[in-house]
Structure 1
Amino acid sequence: MRRQFKPVPTRPDDFDEFWSSTRQQLHAIDPVIERRAVETAEDPAIDLDIVSFVSLGQVRVAGYLLTWRDHEPRPLVITSHGYGMQCRPRWDWARRGVNVLAVDIRGFGISRAALPDPSRWGYVLTGIESPETSVIRLAVCDYMQAARVARTLLADRVQTCVFEGVSFAGGLALMAQAVSGDSDLLAVGVPTFGWAEGRNLFVKSGSGAEISRYLARRPDDAEDTMVVLRYFDAVNFADRVSCPTILALGLEDDVVPAKTVYGIANHLAVPYELLEFPVSHSDGPEEAQWSLFENCWLNFLQRGLPGDFGAHCRTS
């Protein structure tokens, strides 16, 4: 059954060394933070700033920072966007009593200029020639650097921190947490990049479909491409996650098949809860049920984790 699916990890021999080196390189970079206030009548108790900073490769990426004016310690949420999309200020979350940094990954939204020449085969294949040049590595670094910047700006106002993301951002959040350990809670829905060896056989759109088309046109590159993708397979990161985790999936999903998410869940070594929804990445009315995912992790941030956290699976 899909729920018991547990693929064998395919970590390259230098996987941990590669990511340790990547983290060290990122930490050696001065983020040179720039912060610009945005006038808005959205909520008088909350400030909106556009924050930009330097990430790996000496490029500048940016995001939307929402902070409460009372300067009280509050939970901090780091988040990003779906594949091919961009962020918006998450006023709905901020009004629940949290501070939020929503970062546009290089090549998207207000960080579009940071990746001027994406691959003609698709964004995810940019730099696919090696793990060092892969845009996925750079995207993970953008997420980690965003967390570092937010902590720098808010300092003792950070009560606790959650890395959040859905789809593309979910994959980045999971990898960023496993590499940096810089969050107290991980909340990811349908995380991309799980089970690199098999996901491309099932997906019908999104980054997985781009990889499938690339390999179909360039079969001689298949082996080298898969070796690179193993450095970014969420399954290979799962047992490195170091904080309680809320994971969510759609039982029917043509972009991030449920099997790939079960593959991640079954390798987690921390307490976790799994939320199952009928669908994801669809236009159907059942998508509305995904609001329960947001409510779940926001409630945990506000009230703390229950004593039986991780003891069961929650099915919508």
Structure 2
Amino acid sequence: MPAFDLPPAELRHHRPAPDEPDDFDDFWRGTLADSAAGDPLVSAHPVETGLRLTRTWDVTFRGFGGDPVRAWFSRPAGALRPLPAVVEYAGYGRGRGLPHERLTWVAAGYAHLLMDNRGQGDRYGCGGDTPDPHTGVPGGPGPAVRGLLDPYAYHYRRLITDAVRAVAAVRALPGVDEGHVSAVGNSQGGGLALAVAGLVPDLAAVLVSAPLLCGVRRALDLTDAGPYGEITAYLSVRRDDHAVQAAYRTLSYVEGVSFARRAHAPAHFGVGLRDTVCPPSGAYAAFNRYGELSGVKPPKEIHAYPFNGHEGGDAVHVRRQLGWLAGMRETG
């Protein structure tokens, strides 16, 4: 697939006008307050994985509305002191899988929480373990369109709240340095990490690649791939303007650029310039407006891969993430 979005020189300065409702902050303040009561942790049980250099716990925490959300929590075996933590969010249609699947951050010396995606896990990987009790809301079968016509019923209102509560959960687990918690994710996970950066002001860092839900209106005009394709297919059979405007209104409450504007934490971005699943203009819009409403100027950097699509920098980019976050630890 040849490059299809804006030229690189234009991407570097791409700062579209924000697409956010006047009550954006009130919406999220109220949503998070409704789910903040009580201890975030429900349980944490050690599991046998067959790995000798890693210890893992099967964690359940309270997410949106107090719903139980599953996660894997892992630490390097034998670590005696509290460790900085990385909360990782999985991609669209993926669940938490098996505990030995994602060990990069543990091997690098971090405590690691991998959050399950409620109501997902049936598209690839090794599945998920968190049902969504609210799947009866109007909409199509895919997560991207569940409750699409009502921001209060939308799937991503629940999933983003889960992602915020995952940070509270990891801070309640033993052996975690509560003051050094970072969020990381790719694709849908990148969109969730960016939302967390905008809603949790004291993150240590955020690492985002190929983020979903950034520059949503433009993405819907550019691509029919992935989750955006589910949205266009849903609206293609609901041809009245009311449905379209209701969908746009709902999506404005989960727009990643709006979360990015409110973020405080240092940020590391990655993007493939031939990405037709999450068009690069969305990542650049979020990057270029990152932190502008926070009252600080958080350090940020972005790495572009001109000949790559949704896979972006892949392992090369992970190597850059490891080095960057290690540098943040040393300077922080």
What is the TM-score normalised by the length of structure 1?
0.88
Name the CA distance, whole Å, in 1 between partners of 2:82 and 2:325: 13
Aligned equivalent of 1:8, options 8, 13, 17: 17
What residue in structure 1 maps to residue 123 of structure 2? none
Other structure's SS at 1:94 match: helix
- For the Cα contact (< 8 Å) 1:29–1:56, is it kept in 2? no
Q: Does 1:35 align with 2:53?
A: no
Name the CA distance, whole Å, in 1 between partners of 2:48 and 2:178: 24
What residue in structure 2 maps to residue 217 of structure 1? 237
Other structure's SS at 1:93 match: helix
Instruction: In structure 2, give the amino acid aligned to 1:133.
Output: A
Q: Which sits farther off after the overlay, 111-120 or 61-70?
A: 111-120
Instruction: In structure 2, give the amino acid aligned to 1:301.
Output: L
- For the Cα contact (< 8 Å) 2:111–2:176, is it kept in 1? no
Name the CA distance, whole Å, in 1 between partners of 2:179 and 2:30: 29
* Number of residue equivalences: 301
User: Where is the helix percentage greater, Structure 1 or Structure 2?
Assistant: 1
Q: Deviations over 1:57-82 (max 9, x none)?
A: 33211011102332312220000211
Aligned equivalent of 1:202, options 200, 216, 222: 222
Name the CA distance, whole Å, in 2 between partners of 1:218 and 1:182: 41
Instruction: In structure 1, give the amino acid aligned to 2:322.
Output: L
Q: Give ranges in structure 2 of 5+ residues lacking alignment.
A: 1-9, 121-126, 292-297
Name the CA distance, whole Å, in 2 between partners of 1:204 and 1:137: 23
Q: Does 1:297 align with 2:324?
A: no
Q: Does 1:276 align with 2:300?
A: no
Sequence identity (%):
27
What residue in structure 2 maps to residue 266 of structure 1? 288
What residue in structure 1 maps to residue 116 of structure 2? 104
CA shift for structure 1 position 204: 2.8
Other structure's SS at 2:183 match: strand
Name the CA distance, whole Å, in 1 between partners of 2:168 and 2:155: 20
CA shift for structure 1 position 306: 8.3
Kindly report which structure 2 residues correspond to 1:22-171, keeping only aligned pairs within 5 A, or say none.
22-42=31-51, 44-68=52-76, 69-88=78-97, 89=99, 90-108=102-120, 109-115=127-133, 117=135, 119-154=139-174, 157-158=177-178, 160-171=180-191
For the structure 1 residues 149 and 112, does the alpha-carbon distance in structure 2 shift closer, same or farther, using more than 3 Å as the test? closer
CA shift for structure 1 position 265: 1.2
Instruction: In structure 2, give the amino acid aligned to 1:193.
Output: L
CA shift for structure 1 position 115: 4.3
What residue in structure 2 maps to residue 311 of structure 1? none
Other structure's SS at 2:276 match: coil
Q: Give ranges in structure 1 of 5+ residues lacking alignment.
A: 308-316
- For the Cα contact (< 8 Å) 1:61–1:114, is it kept in 2? no
- For the Cα contact (< 8 Å) 2:96–2:129, is it kept in 1? no
- For the Cα contact (< 8 Å) 1:77–1:163, is it kept in 2? yes
What residue in structure 2 maps to residue 252 of structure 1? 274
Q: Deviations over 1:81-133 (max 9, x none)?
A: 11011234322321111110001121124334234737435211112232121
CA shift for structure 1 position 305: 6.5
Other structure's SS at 2:290 match: coil
CA shift for structure 1 position 258: 0.9
Instruction: In structure 2, give the amino acid aligned to 1:213.
Output: A
Q: Does 1:241 align with 2:295?
A: no
Q: Deviations over 1:203-240 (max 9, x none)?
A: 23211111111112112200111011100111122210
